[in-house]
Amino acid sequence: MPKKRPSNKDFDNEEVFPQLSLDCVIFGFNDGTLKVLLLKWKGTEYWSLPGGLIRQSEDIDNAAIRILQERTGLGQIFLRQFHTFGKIERYDNQKIISKLSHVIDPESWYDRAISIGYYALVDYAEVFPNPDQFTDECQWWILEEVPELLFDHNEILKKALHSLRLELSYQPVGYNLLSEKFTMPEMMRMYEAILGSKIDPRNFQKKILNSGIVIKLNEVKKGLAHKSPNLYMFDKVKYQQILEGGGLFII
Amino acid sequence: MPKKRPSNKDFDNEEVFPQLSLDCVIFGFNDGTLKVLLLKWKGTEYWSLPGGLIRQSEDIDNAAIRILQERTGLGQIFLRQFHTFGKIERYDNQKIISKLSHVIDPESWYDRAISIGYYALVDYAEVFPNPDQFTDECQWWILEEVPELLFDHNEILKKALHSLRLELSYQPVGYNLLSEKFTMPEMMRMYEAILGSKIDPRNFQKKILNSGIVIKLNEVKKGLAHKSPNLYMFDKVKYQQILEGGGLFII
DNA sequence: AGTCATCATGTACAATTTACACAATGATTT
DNA sequence: AAATCATTGTGTAAATTGTACATGATGACT
């Protein structure tokens, strides 16, 4: 079915896997809402998820780490492979080519590609968004306000969020979305943002403290408009114990 | 890193994705234990999971369905994509070539391949195991007795089982592992086999009946050595409702 | 000094999960 | 025909977990 199948090269002249790509859903948390990092393609108003190709010389997990590094500047990342997308018609190829022909070379474009999806949780405050060579903007979007994306990226995002929610329900996930020190309401709002529902603060606090994954500090967060909330940190040892098995946790 | 990159063909002369494969972990349940369908490579004593290549003309889900159909004869299948394996050194390539050089052509063999893993749950009694063109035996193995497998297939199997266990705990998965009519102890032993732990029969029965996914029939299973157990069936409507969303459920 | 939004906290009730033992069945043996 | 034996089927009480809910304390701002 594909018309052309040139041997693909990436830009370091590193050989890459043909017809295979990797897409990253990068979640951040700020101001009480979940955010996603999106890229705007050069000379267009079209947005997509960050992604890239997989080099012959790297593990796919490392490809995801590299792409994340390039887009966010972060080295310490929570990453999960969540699904591989391989429908024949993931999106309308002609439409994509017509939208992006000034950036991509239609001659070296495959009719079909399979994409491996990863999602990442990062500390919003430490990210320096960085466009790639196809794009001229890299920006956080509020999850609920994400526009129509190129390719099948809305579906990928939806599936990533679904996987994140599932994971959250049986594992503590927050580590990388919050700053090192955080308040209980911050953590609670993060859970609310991910799950998309309200949580009772008393029950939440009880549950989190009972699990032992956080340590209460003798410090409060000053400078807010109201009562200064107490600060907490994750108990890294306990946290890791609970995460035991399953997934890629780089720290 | 790969030395050769020929355009790969499969045997219907259908073009396939290069450097990409698909592996299936096919679970069955019989005689109180979980079983896995394995293939023995021609002229060797080496076993592997069933697998294959992905055609340019099919969705990856359909590739998995096709492979399953070819190995088991079954059309109605419960399938889940659970992970994509993409380490550089998933296994020792030279070792594989030396073991299988009489079956595979080392010239058309990639130095590296990425494999998409699916697991399937099938009704043991209805499967007709069927080797492929590289193998001369297709057989059920008891999960605990699975030998050392070719490639990284022991790891893939381990991850599949892990995913199945996770899924079992939030979805009623049994439908496809049991015959149409089954007894409560059979169902319980299936859960025990998957989870690898004992379950209290009174609590199990209570839970399953309360969930409403099974219907008690006015029939017992005769011919056993002891008291004839009652038969049950799944309530398909209820079952589907509970499965709502998430995953590939082919029926 | 008063106002106000936010933070911190405990108890009672409901729901769920866990632990646990014995009588009934029906094929097999004596 | 009676006894044996492995297996099936069933209920209750205790413990645990989850849920619902309201008020006083704080600290910046006016």
pLDDT tens per residue across span A11-57: 455 799 999 999 999 999 999 999 999 999 999 999 999 999 999 99
B203 CA → D6 C1’, Å = 21
Region of A11 (left: φ > 0; alpha: ψ -120 to 50; beta: rest) is alpha
The answer to whether B168 faces chain A, any CB pair under 8 Å, is no
Block means of pLDDT (10 residues each) for chain A, 251 residues, are 43 81 97 96 97 97 97 91 97 95 90 97 95 96 98 98 90 89 96 95 95 94 91 92 68 57
Share of chain B above pLDDT 90, in %: 77
Residue B28 lies in a domain: yes
Together in a domain, A126 and A234: no
Q: Give CA separation, A73 vs A76, A81, A123, in Å.
A: 9, 20, 11
Together in a domain, A104 and A223: no
Residue A196 lies in a domain: yes
Tokens of residue A213, six digits = 């994954």
Give the CATH number for residue B231: 1.10.10.10
Residue B117 lies in a domain: yes
Q: Give CA separation, B147 vs B35, B102, B141, B155, B178, in Å.
A: 13, 22, 9, 12, 25
Together in a domain, B184 and B244: yes
B197 touches strand C (CB under 7 A): no
DSSP state for residue B179 in the 8-state scheme = -
Summary mean pLDDT of chain B: 90
pLDDT tens sequence across B104-116? 998 889 999 999 9
Residue A145 lies in a domain: yes
Parallel, antiparallel or unpaired: strands B78-85 and B114-121: antiparallel
Together in a domain, A30 and A151: yes
Together in a domain, A212 and A143: no
**Closest residue (CA to C1') to nucleotide D19 in the complex:** A203
From A169, A199, A219, the end of a domain falls on A169
Residue B1 lies in a domain: no
Residue A229 lies in a domain: yes
Angle at B171 between CA B170 and CA B174, to 5 degrees: 135
Q: Give CA separation, A237 vs A175, A230, A242, A243, in Å.
A: 12, 21, 9, 10
pLDDT at B249: 60
Spatial contact of A111 and A91, defined as CB atoms under 8 Å apart: no
pLDDT band with cut points at 50, 70 and 90 for residue B5: very low
Angle at B15 between CA A60 and CA B74, to 5 degrees: 85
Is the pLDDT at B223 greater than 70? The verdict is: yes
Residues of B in contact with A10 (CB under 8 A): none
pLDDT at B108: 86
Together in a domain, B141 and B41: yes
Is the pLDDT at B1 greater than 70? The verdict is: no
Spatial contact of A91 and A151, defined as CB atoms under 8 Å apart: yes
Together in a domain, A108 and A187: no
A44 touches strand C (CB under 7 A): no
Count: domains in chain A = 2
Strand D nucleotides with an atom less than 7 Å from a protein beta carbon: 5-12, 18-22, 25-29
Residue A27 lies in a domain: yes
Q: Where are the beta strands (DSSP E) in A122-249?
A: 135-142, 182-183, 214-220, 230-234, 248-249
> Which domain does A107 fall in, by range?
16-169
Q: Do A84 and B84 touch (CB under 8 A)?
A: yes
Together in a domain, A69 and A129: yes
pTM of the model: 0.93
Q: Find the length of chain A.
A: 251
Together in a domain, B129 and B55: yes
pLDDT tens sequence across B78-103? 999 999 999 999 999 999 999 999 99
pLDDT tens sequence across B123-178? 999 999 999 999 999 999 999 999 999 999 999 999 999 999 988 887 888 889 99
Together in a domain, B154 and B197: no
Distance between B2 CA and the closest CA of chain A, angstroms? 7
The answer to whether B56 faces chain A, any CB pair under 8 Å, is yes
Residues of A in contact with B112 (CB under 8 A): 56
The answer to whether A60 faces chain B, any CB pair under 8 Å, is yes
Residues of A in contact with B19 (CB under 8 A): 17-18, 20
Residues of B in contact with A167 (CB under 8 A): none
pLDDT band with cut points at 50, 70 and 90 for residue B251: low
pLDDT at B122: 96
Share of chain B above pLDDT 70, in %: 92
Distance between A246 CA and the closest CA of chain B, angstroms? 9
Give the CATH number for residue B25: 3.90.79.10
Strand C nucleotides with an atom less than 7 Å from a protein beta carbon: 4-11, 17-21, 24-28
Q: Tell me the mean pLDDT in the region B241-250.
A: 64
Pairs of CB atoms within 8 A across A/B: 67
Residue A174 lies in a domain: no
Distance between A51 CA and the closest CA of chain B, angstroms? 16
Residues of A in contact with B5 (CB under 8 A): 7
Which of B7, B20, B54, B163 is most worth mutating to test chain A (most A CB atoms within 10 A of its CB)? B20
User: Which is more confidently placed, A173 or B56?
Assistant: B56
Together in a domain, A132 and A37: yes
Together in a domain, B111 and B227: no
B208 CA → C27 C1’, Å = 29
